[in-house]
Amino acid sequence: MSDFLSLFTTDFILYALAAGLSLAVVAGPLGSFIVWRRMAYFGDTLAHSALLGIAIGLLTGANPQLSIILSCLFFAFILTVLDRSPNVSTDTLLGILAHSSLALGIVVLALADSIRVNLEAYLFGALLTISASDLAWIIAVTIGVGGILLKFWNEFVAITVHADIAEVEGSRVDRLNILLVLLIALTIAVSMKIVGVLLITSLLVIPAAAARLLAATPEQMAIRASVIGCVAVVFGLLAAFVADVPVGPSIVVCATLLFLALTLLRGGKA
Amino acid sequence: MASGAVSTVEETIGSQQPLLSAVDIGKVFDDRVVLERVSFSIQPGQIVTLIGPNGAGKTTLVRIALGLLDADSGTITRREGLRLGYMPQSLHVEPTLPLTVQRFLALALRGAKESAGGHEIEETLTSLHVPHLVHAQLNSLSGGELQRVLLARALLRKPHLLVLDEPAQGVDIAGQAELYSIIDSIAETQGCGVLMISHDLHLVMSSTDEVICLNHHVCCHGKPETVSNDPAYLSLFGAGVTDSLAVYTHHHTHEHDIHGNVIGEDECTHQ
């Protein structure tokens, strides 16, 4: 048992825990918006396209974290602009971008012989290899994203409930939409290392979906989603050590179990 | 680009300046002329009702008046500092979004001091005879309850001009009459102007100051009283005809083809 507790005094475990928890805190409210606005596939597309950003970053020798962030912001912007085209439906557009950029990213990485990349780490996350500078990025971004979310919370909720009413009441709906999309893109970019390209959206969406079962207001849902996300991170990390399985998938499995448990509990009451 | 401009004018106390005036508004969607040289204005305390067949451009005109859509030509002039209250046709809230009536209404007060919120919300709901709904989930409301809550949201901004897009949609007959009488008394007690789209001319007749009959262009406009005693009107509504256009007794010198295009002279005379 003391062995087990001593785990939590190890640097890399503390880094992993701090990174996972700070992400879970902002993932609660952001994930709620993704659920409310049916943007899950949008988040997926951003995550997939980030692999292309990673490839380009590695080729040009840029800071990998920075190149992921820039590519996520770039694709978020492109998606928002292209989405206004009436000739391609949103889900088709997302399908094209998500998989073409993922494929292109993998092809570019494979062609660049000089680069040896652990692709699995990007696809499924490598929370335990997080460095102090990775952690600094994650904390800086989550503080920034969290601060902006708090400041514009009522505006974001208002445009989500009814954009026209919000606009008549004086909200700048277009700008707020873009801001929200950029916050999601930023968060996805820094959580790449935690759960990986393929699992990021689940960390945003599953705690929010679970929290829906416990909430009567948007604020309750957002806060409870954060709490559920934090629980999933802690137990996911623990389970990963006990069972010696990859951390990212373990966290996602924990979140899913929480969702299932809550669904069964609430279903029993109804 | 001078067309589609929005300008504001100085508000003078006791001014006879309209709250909002639209001059020669035109709008084209994909080569389809939706609005053509539409003009109207609204004074404080005045209720203006827009009627017209489906696809006549009523909602487009209202969206232009609200500033949600830009006109292709013509000018919208709003009084400086004009506060708008907008009640859309309906509201769909995602079932994944938990939202109480209280929280929904509090959104109207964002930017204002939060402390005043609870009190004002209860007062407004009480004035609409639905104070018991304050903690209800928005998704659990009936059609009539939802329309009142939407009206409450618009009223909480203390608007100078209330814009209502088919406010009685999905409300039963008794509820419709009550809703319109509430709107009437709001215009009277608060002195705000009201612009509304309605198909229920028989219900809004008594309170409407001006009816605008729209079919891409203003076919005609005038006071509804002139038609209220007309036997044709009574027989039409007695027979359950709901096309409000039919009751508005006047002779058009032109007709519309199936696409709403004018055939013949573009003139109409009122009785």
- What would the pLDDT profile of A9-43 be if each residue is shown by its tens digit? 677 788 889 999 999 999 999 999 999 998 888 88
Percent of chain A with pLDDT over 90: 43
User: If you measure CA to CA, which chain A residue comes closest to B150?
Assistant: A165
Please judge whether A167 and B68 are an interchain contact, meaning their C-beta atoms are less than 8 angstroms apart. yes
Q: Give me the residue label for tokens 């009816």.
A: B211
Which residues in B lie closer than 8 A to residue A216 (C-beta atoms)?
98, 100, 137
Whether the per-residue pLDDT at B221 is higher than 80: the answer is: no
Percent of chain B with pLDDT over 90: 24
Residue B252 banded pLDDT, cuts 50, 70, 90: low
Whether the per-residue pLDDT at B243 is higher than 60: the answer is: no
The residue ranking higher by pLDDT, A213 or A193, is A213
Interface check B69 vs A, CB under 8 A: no
For the question of whether the overall pTM of this predicted structure is more than 0.90, the answer is: no
Q: At residue B240, what is the residue type?
A: G
Task: Give the domains, in start order, of chain A with CATH numbers.
Answer: 2-264 (1.10.3470.10)
Residue B172 banded pLDDT, cuts 50, 70, 90: confident
Task: Give the domains, in start order, of chain B with CATH numbers.
Answer: 1-83+160-253 (3.40.50.300), 92-158 (no CATH)
Average per-residue pLDDT for chain B: 77
Please judge whether B110 and A158 are an interchain contact, meaning their C-beta atoms are less than 8 angstroms apart. yes
Residue in A33, A150, A162, A266 to test binding to B, most B beta-carbons within 10 Å: A162
Which residues in A lie closer than 8 A to residue B84 (C-beta atoms)?
168
A positions 207-266 inside 8 Å of B (CB): 209, 212, 215-221
Q: HEC profile for chain A?
A: CHHHHHHHHCHHHHHHHHHHHHHHHHHHHHHHHHHHCCCHHHHHHHHHHHHHHHHHHHHHCCCHHHHHHHHHHHHHHHHHHHCCCCCCCHHHHHHHHHHHHHHHHHHHHHHCCCCCCCHHHHHHCCHHHCCHHHHHHHHHHHHHHHHHHHHCHHHHHHHHHCHHHHHHCCCCHHHHHHHHHHHHHHHHHHHHHHHCCCCHHHHHHHHHHHHHCCCCCHHHHHHHHHHHHHHHHHHHHHHHHHHCCCHHHHHHHHHHHHHHHHHHHHHHHC
Q: What's the confidence (pLDDT) of residue B1?
A: 38
Residue A145 banded pLDDT, cuts 50, 70, 90: very high
Which residues in B lie closer than 8 A to residue A157 (C-beta atoms)?
107
Q: What's the confidence (pLDDT) of residue B4?
A: 46
